[in-house]
Amino acid sequence: MTGRIVTIILSVGLALGATLLATRASAIRLTGIHQGYEPVQPIAFSHRLHAGDLQVPCLYCHSGAGSSRYAGIPAVTTCMNCHRFVTTTFGAVRAEDDLARQENRKPRLLISPELQKLYDALGIDPVSGLPAPDKTPSPIAWVKVHNVPAFTYFDHRGHVTAGVPCQQCHGPVETMERVRQVETLSMGWCVNCHRQVNRTGVGGKRVNASIDCVTCHY
Amino acid sequence: MPTQNRKRYWKSREERDGAPDPAATDREFFDTPAVTGAAYTTRRGFLTAAGFGLAGAALSSCSRAPVVQAIPYLVQPEEVTPGRPYFYASTCGGCSAGCGLIVRNRDGRPVKLEGNPDHPASRGGLCAAGQASILGLYDSQRLTAPMRDGQRASWADVDGAIRTTLDDIRTQGGAVRFLTGTVTSPTVRSLIGAFLKPFPNARHVAYDALSTSALLDACEQTHGARVLPRLRFDRAEVIVSFDADFLGTWISPVEYTVGYSAGRTLRGDPPRLSYHAQFESRMSLTGGRADWRIALAPAEIGIVIGHLAERLARMADMPLAPGALPPAPVPAARLDELADRLWRARGRSLVVCASQDTSLQVLCNAMNHAVGAYGTTIDVERPSYQRAGNDRDLEALRDELSAGGVAALFIAGVNPVYDLPDGDGLAQALRTVPLVISFADHVDETSSVARYVCPDRHFLECWSDTEAVAGVVSLTQPVIRPLGESRQLIESLAVWSGAPMSACDLVRAHWTQQIYPRRRTDAPFRDFWERAVHDGVVEVTPDAPAVRPFGEAARGVMVPEAPPLPDGDFALVLYPTVGMLDGRHAHNPWLHELPDPTTKVTWDNYASFSPEAAGRIGIADGDVVRLESSDGLTGATKVIELSAHLQPGQHDRVVAVALGYGRMGTDRFAKVGPQWIEGRTTVGTNGLIGVSAAGFRTLANGVLRDTGRLVRVTKTGRTRPLAATQSHHMIAVPAALAPAGGARRPIVEETTLAAYVKDPTAGSLGHAEPTADLWPPDHPYTGHRWAMVVDLNACTGCAACVIGCQVENNVPVVGRDEVRRHREMHWIRIDRYYADGDDGGVDVIHQPMLCQHCEHASCEVVCPVLATVHSSEGLNQQIYNRCVGTRYCANNCPYKVRRFNWFDYPREDRLQNLVLNPDVVVRSRGVMEKCSMCIQRIQNARIEAARLGQPLGPNAVETACQQSCPARAITFGDANDPESPVSQARTSPRYFRVLAELNVKPAVGYLRLVRHRPEDGGERRHG
């Protein structure tokens, strides 16, 4: 009797498990692959706004990608090139302008809370643009989204030189509010692309994408 | 092909005599503890374990990946792009030779030191110690704050106290002494002078722990100026060296190696190959390279100098009365022949001598004068400033100190309590001096008795300058923000003089006043300075002291009589090693683990005996012997106990001991290496690395001597085996495994100049590579094909490449115990072979051995997981993340160049980890590793060339071992490019490949050694 109950429980469990697995098969992946990783960043920086709407070129901020192994996160001073003047969204500025006109006063300087974090990091007063004595500069700890293992040496330089679009590996970043890992970044994914471009070329140019192990592992 | 006259080469005497290697008996594996009782696994136990294992695996696979942070700069420095290396030119501070440096920086910190090819003296070479000195920057035991009476103090307190005391001394007229090593920096020299000026009784005393005082004194006698003549080995065709290890440790080995190799390139017609005779007591690196080497007792060297000088004086018709000479210990005919060679090569010959006997140095100067060396191979008008120490001054200071007549003593860059024979006495005397200020950057023998320690900075944090050779001034610039609160010597002096200034301003000010007026261009100062900072070195008009032509002072020089050696006694020879020098690198684990180029011993010093002498007194390798000597002056007996090492080629009556060991603070290495079940300590019974032999030095009559003491040797009955790598990774088949009557495998090839001139392929073993091939030709090499050629004729075995590779490729230090288990991790080793020479001596040949990157690699076919595979460019790739550690590949490698990570070698020192090259993976336990031909450099050069739209030039990639080789023995490049240097080297008639008959087709080849032995007709070979 008990044996039968156990069998029934087991079969029900197995059926449920199989159903669950079948519906979520796409979620099963190898360890170390973090496709879909979308961490919260210390500042809610929007790539959709900057790279998409405003069409800031990727290499304007990630300037290392053209000359270094690492694309790099821009230094805060790079942000300040624009955000010395732009302290909040256009909509908020216009609303404040309208309000000020109605109230017949000079518009106030509005600072978005996200950008305030930027000024705090640099330790400056956004109004004067001068170092604020009560603030200590401290760098911003962004969360890295696209990680390759420590035994893999990926070099941005070669890919940018060859003309591979950034979106090839990073996905449509210009549409993302918060950056998400789109591709698997697995070795098979890398090697497949290397094989393919050796046949098709990149942007009409012939390329020699090596598939030797030491291209990445040393 | 002639196969007789086969010369047998051997690495150890055990190999030569077919005896079991004692190192091999030290078993690699320990016994598994016996299983006791019912310790077998039950079914229930197995299932429990399996269940937990499964659950654990499931849980761990659910875990989130660690969050990786990317923290950018707030304000990015202009020249820094994260991930891109940038380079500064500077000057090496590893010793007083002052070689040019190129420092590679990554993300704000230096990670590699390389030679500066634009430096006119060192020409891109950098020795092992120089390359390893980067580790000193990240030494966590370096003093980073001032100390007062052994307690950490603040600069303000220390400065205030020192200034008050100095004011008192100035008004009272107390004696102030400033004790330094040779100061090669013109700025520092002049600032010390300026600092001492206000004191009525002040003197700057300089001495060298590895003294060359007699050489300078002799120059003063014969040329009227106490300078170190610049030796131009590149211009010398006949070189006679008396005990001078000029390729290894003597004065400026890199500069001398560069010159020496330039004279032995075999280029031109007739082929250029200088003749080098070496008379020495022990087997030195330089002696191993000599064309004719004779082992002499220290006292006999003077006799040979006398005989040779007499012959040359007769030829040159010079008045020289050397007095009654004892009979020469060398056949007269050989000396005649040598004198004749020197005489025939007048103006192109050179005699060097490391003796600390001024009269012998004067005789050598007379010989050099006779053969017209002055003005050609020896430059006294543009001398070297690499050594300026004066042992007479040192002796006077010592006496002053013991008499209690010194009010203030500054000690910078030297460690006299360790260096000098009566260190304890000196330490006592120092305690009675009212003000002792040490600038040492470690707690050492001297700084621990100093009242104040004001730590100087590491040279990579400094602004300074160096004039190593008259007219060649190089700059030292900081490449990192100073770690800690140390302060440069010149800044401290400026503070105490009441005019604080930064080191940069001090150096600039000195340059404005002193260096810039000596300029050769008419550039404004700013440009002159900027250029000097950029290039690292600037050539200006020398302002050397005036010398007079060789005087007749040598007339009537008497050669000292050789004191008879009492029966049973040994003559002691103390010498510096390539790694430790005078002990200044004692805190560097890389240099401790670097096998000595000749003895291949690591982590220790030892008493070397010739095998015959060892047989006579009944000792074997590793037996602990007691060396006893009574001091002639005080009658006190000094004793040290050391392991014995049997050194072929050493004189029978000589025992040689390395200096620089037994340094205070080396107890830090007690636990280096993995602490595992049988973990044995790296330090000796005294708790230190090695034993200090400084007590056996003598400082008397104005010279600090390292030779000449007589010692009595007794056995202690104990043994402490040395960690020597000479029998590790043997390529030759052990006698026990060789097929009956089978020929020994040829490893190195050599020939003589006479044979080479007749037939450039002479010495070839004629092992044609097999023509039939089982392997399909599946390596088309359509692009690059990386290859390397090592010129055995240029290689001196100095081990610069070993350290260069270690720094570049994050090779770990494993410790003494692991070395004894054959587990040293160096990717490139230097195999040193001996062969019985014709005249009873031994011949030495060095062969750098690294992964040969075989086309048909035997490692590749046995790897079960394809962790080692061939690249399309001819490299044998080792993929760490795929390796599962079967070690099949290492077992199948005929060259024994693969290294296995038996442990996670310690990387706990976070400061020290900053030296790791971020472009190379740190390998973990259980992974095989080996030479990658610096693939990170290849990849970087390739991508960089593509980025700039340029083709990859033939010299675009330099491996780490190649870059700093002072002898330029290593050529690396693309064998598919017919114009590349490596392709041309591969077409040399001297080209051969090791074990070519195996048909593994290595990408690394060698160029045969050519010995200059005209009297020797036949070919030399070995198996």
Residue A27, pLDDT > 90, answer: no
By C-alpha distance, the chain B residue nearest A121 is B74
Reply yes or no on whether the pLDDT at B1015 is more than 70.
no
How many CB atoms sit inside 10 A of residue B80's CB?
15
Cα separation, A163 vs A173, whole angstroms: 17
Q: What is the pLDDT of residues A139-198, one digit of tens each?
A: 999 999 999 988 999 999 999 999 999 999 999 999 999 999 999 999 999 999 999 999
- Who contacts B568 (Cβ-Cβ below 8 Å, separation ≥6)? B712
Mutate to test the interface with A, among B63, B79, B80, B81 (most CBs of A within 10 A): B81
* CA A54/CA A45 separation, integer angstroms: 13
pLDDT value for B1: 38
* B869/A141 touch (CB, cutoff 8 Å), yes or no: no
pLDDT of residue B2: 39
How far is it, in rounded angstroms, from Cα B266 to Cα B1010?
9
Backbone phi, psi, residue B471, to 5°? 90, -5
Quote the DSSP letter at residue B988: S
Token pair for B44? 């229930």
Helix (H) or strand (E) holding B86: strand B86-91
Angle formed by the axes of helices A113-122 and A76-83, nearest 10°: 130
| CA–CA gap between residue A47 and residue A57 (Å, rounded) | 11
Strands B472-476 and B1004-1007: unpaired
Q: Which of B71, B876, B882, B959 to mutate to test the interface with A (most CBs of A within 10 A)?
A: B71
- What pLDDT was estimated at residue B1019? 36
In the block, residue with structure tokens 């960089």: B944
Mean pLDDT along residues B910-928: 92
Nearest to B946 among A73, A142, A158 (CB): A158
Give the Å distances, CA to CA, from A34 to A28, B59, B64.
Answer: 11, 17, 9
Residue A153 and residue B936: Cβ atoms within 8 Å? yes
Residue-level pLDDT at B54: 77
> Which residues of A fall within a CB distance of 8 Å from B919?
153, 218
Q: Evaluate whether B895 touches B851 at the Cβ level (below 8 Å).
A: yes
pLDDT, tens only, B1-19: 333 346 778 787 777 776 6
Instruction: Give φ, ψ of B294 to 5 degrees.
Output: -125, 130
CB contact under 8 A, B880 and A158: no
Query: What is the ipTM, given to two decimal places?
Result: 0.85
Task: Name the residue of chain B whose CA is nearest to A153's CA.
Answer: B919
Residue B134 — pLDDT band, cuts 50, 70, 90? very high
Q: How many CA atoms lie within 13 A of B384 on its CB side?
A: 25
Alpha carbons B24 and B728: distance in angstroms, whole number: 9
Please name the member of A63, A67, A75 whose beta carbon is closest to the beta carbon of B947: A67
- pLDDT at B4 (0 to 100): 39
- Identify the closest residue of chain B to A39 by CA–CA distance: B67
| A-B contacts (CB, under 8 Å) | 123
At residue B546 the predicted structure's pLDDT band, cuts being 50, 70 and 90, is: confident
Q: Is B74's CB within 8 Å of A158's CB? A: no
- Band of the pLDDT at A217, cuts 50, 70, 90? very high
pLDDT reading at B32 higher than 80: no
Average pLDDT, chain A: 88
CA distance B899 to B917: 19
What whole-number distance in Å separates Cα of residue A140 and Cα of residue B267? 60
Nearest residue, CB atoms, A155 vs list B65, B75, B943: B943
Compute the distance between CA of residue B450 and CA of residue A57 in angstroms, rounded to an integer. 62
Residue B314: which pLDDT band, with cuts at 50, 70 and 90? confident
pLDDT tens digits for B485-496?
999 999 999 999
Chain B residue at shortest CA distance from A160: B947
Residue B70 near chain A (CB below 8 Å): yes
* CA torsion angle B984 B988 B994 B998 (round to 10): 90
Residue of A nearest to B879 (CA): A217
Residue B935 touches partner A, C-beta closer than 8 Å: yes
Residue B891: its pLDDT value, please?
92
Q: How many residues does chain B have?
A: 1023
Tokens of B577: 């090693």
Distance from CA of B877 to the nearest CA of A (A): 6
How near does any CA of chain B get to the CA of A98, in Å?
35
Nearest to B292 by CA among B840, B767, B856, B902: B840
Q: List C-alpha distances in Å: A153 to A68, A158, B66, B73, B920.
A: 12, 12, 19, 22, 9
| Dist CA B459 CA B476 (whole Å) | 7
Cβ atoms of B808 and B915 closer than 8 Å: no
User: pLDDT for B971-1002, tens place per residue?
Assistant: 999 999 999 999 999 999 999 999 888 888 89
Nearest to A142 by CA among A35, A38, A34, A43: A43
Whether chain A has a CB inside 8 Å of the CB on B952: the answer is: no
β pairing state of B786-791 and B970-974: antiparallel
Query: Shortest CA distance to B449 belongs to which of B436, B461, B439?
Result: B436
Give Cα separations from B869 to B768, B876, B882, B936, B1004 (angstroms).
26, 6, 11, 17, 17
Residue B42's pLDDT is: 78
Mutate to test the interface with B, among A83, A211, A214 (most CBs of B within 10 A): A214
Task: Dump pLDDT digits (tens) for B366-404.
Answer: 899 989 999 999 998 899 999 999 999 999 999 999 998
Residues 6+ positions from B382 with CB-CB distance below 8 Å = B230, B469, B470, B471, B542, B544
Model confidence at B62: pLDDT above 70: no
Instruction: Report yes or no: B289 and B256 within 8 Å, Cβ to Cβ.
Output: no
- Cα gap B301→B303, rounded to integer Å: 5
* pLDDT given at position B40: 65
Has residue B155 got a pLDDT over 90?
yes
Answer yes or no: is pLDDT of B805 > 50.
yes
Q: Which residue from A31, A70, A218 is facing B921, i.e. has the nearest CB?
A: A218
B918 interaction partners in chain A (CB closer than 8 Å): none
CA–CA distance, B769 with B789 (Å, rounded to integer): 18
Rounded distance, CA A153 to CA A156, Å? 10
Q: Give per-residue pLDDT as tens, B940-963.
A: 999 999 999 998 888 889 999 999
**Is the CB of residue B59 less than 8 Å away from at least one CB of chain A?**
no
Q: Is the distance from CB of B577 to CB of B660 less than 8 angstroms?
A: yes
Which tokens sit at B876? 């044998």
User: In this predicted structure, what is the pLDDT of residue B632?
Assistant: 62
Chain A residue with the nearest C-alpha to that of B877: A214
Q: What angle do CA B288, B290, B294 make, to 5 degrees?
A: 85
Closest CA to B533 of B830, B44, B90: B90
Q: Which residue of A has its CA nearest to B948?
A: A161
Instruction: Pick B518 or B39 by higher pLDDT.
Output: B518
Q: In whole angstroms, what is the distance from residue A187 CA to residue A210 CA?
A: 13
C-alpha span between A121 and B179 (Å, rounded): 49
Q: What is the DSSP string of B450-469?
A: -SEE-PPPPGGG--EEEEEE
Q: Per the structure block, which two tokens stand in for B967?
A: 């002898």
User: Which whole number is the average pLDDT over B63-79?
Assistant: 81
Q: Which sign does the torsion angle of CA B521, B526, B530, B533 carry?
A: positive
Determine the pLDDT at residue B66. 74
pLDDT digits (tens, 9 = 90+) for A118-133: 999 999 888 887 888 8
The token pair that represents B11 in the structure block:
């690495």
Give the pLDDT score at B10. Answer: 79
Return the amino acid letter for A157. Answer: R
B871: contact with A, CB 8 A cutoff: yes
pTM of structure: 0.91
**Of B48, B99, B173, B138, whose CA–CA distance to B916 is shortest?**
B138
- Per-position DSSP letters for B372-421, written without gaps between them: T-BTTTEEEEEEE-S----HHHHHHHHHHHHHT--SEEEEES--HHHHST
For B838-897, how does the pLDDT look when each residue is reduced to its tens digit (9 = 90+)?
Answer: 777 889 999 999 999 999 999 999 999 999 999 999 999 999 999 999 999 999 999 999
Q: Could you give the maximum distance between any two Cα atoms of chain A, in Å? A: 87
Q: How do residues B441-484 score in pLDDT, each as one tens digit?
A: 999 999 999 999 999 999 999 999 999 999 999 999 999 999 98
As a whole number of angstroms, the distance between CA A87 and CA A96 comes to: 13
Q: How far apart are CA B921 and CA B880, in angstroms?
A: 9
Q: Residue A26, exposed/middle/buried by CB under 10 A (0-12, 13-18, 19+)?
A: exposed
Chain B residues in contact with A78 (beta carbon < 8 A):
76
Instruction: Dump pLDDT digits (tens) for B580-617.
Output: 999 999 999 999 999 999 999 999 999 999 999 999 99
**How much is the mean pLDDT over chain B?**
88
Among the partner-chain residues B65, B875, B882, the one whose CB lies closest to the CB of A34 is: B65
**Beta-strand runs (E) in A1-79:** none
How many residues does this entry show for chain A? 218
- pLDDT at residue number B477: 94
